[in-house]
Amino acid sequence: MPTPISQDFSVPDFSSFAARLNAFLAETGQPPLDPSVAARFEDYLILLQRWNARTNLTAIRDEEGILRRHFVECIAAARALPLQAGTLLDFGAGAGFPGIPIALCCPEIHVTLAESQGKKTAFLREVVRTLGVSSQVYGDRAEKLGKTFDCVTLRAVDRMEDAVQAASGLVRPDGWLVLLATKGTVPSLGTAAGAEFVWSAPVPLPGGEQRLLFSGQKSA
């Protein structure tokens, strides 16, 4: 009798990855991804789970949780950005959310991923290399970049109000500050950004009524 093959339950079955991701998108009213883009999200997930096994990139480790909480929300955010081309800074990129999904969904936007933690910076560089996205990884505090961008995004950054205040100075005149935040934090984050910004109506994001995309345009 053959010896049963042990299963490694930490390795997901990717045979229908695109179908699962597109099903989760459909649940939130989002259109499906092109097969080629879905395949690159699959590669991203493989890298994320492989690296997460030995370093803490994200607290969400199961495939469905990553797809629903990270991928679907960030894909929706990429599609709702107030610009279609130009330069974008993901301030405190962490494991690459939302910067990597934006780079995959919006190739016309050149994304800079700023992350000061060495292990996360190494991961981001591996993602950029493997996926072949037109992105730059900056391995230090974003405030040291010394240049401005058409758009700056923030999501789940430590000390969010302080980060928003710092990020506001990296937005060029007429550029955008885009925050993936919860409904209750919107007023304080808008105050932290400063009086230079005029805010659009928040856009609901997948994941519950509390999740919002909050976009402010900087005065010229």
pLDDT of residue 25: 97
Q: Which structure tokens are listed for 201?
A: 């109506």
Q: What is the pLDDT of residues 156-192, one digit of tens each?
A: 888 999 999 999 999 999 999 999 999 999 999 999 9
Amino acid at 88: L
Q: What is the pLDDT of residues 21-56, one digit of tens each?
A: 999 999 999 999 999 999 999 999 999 999 998 888
Q: Which structure tokens are listed for 23?
A: 């099903």
Secondary structure of residue 187 in the 3-state scheme = helix
Going by pLDDT thresholds of 50, 70 and 90, the confidence category of residue 10 is: very low
* Domains by residue range for the chain, with CATH: 17-218 (3.40.50.150)
Q: How far apart are CA 6 and CA 11, in angstroms?
A: 12
Q: Give the pTM.
A: 0.90
* CA proximity to 175, closest of 87, 104, 80, 76: 87
Q: Which structure tokens are listed for 72?
A: 């679907």
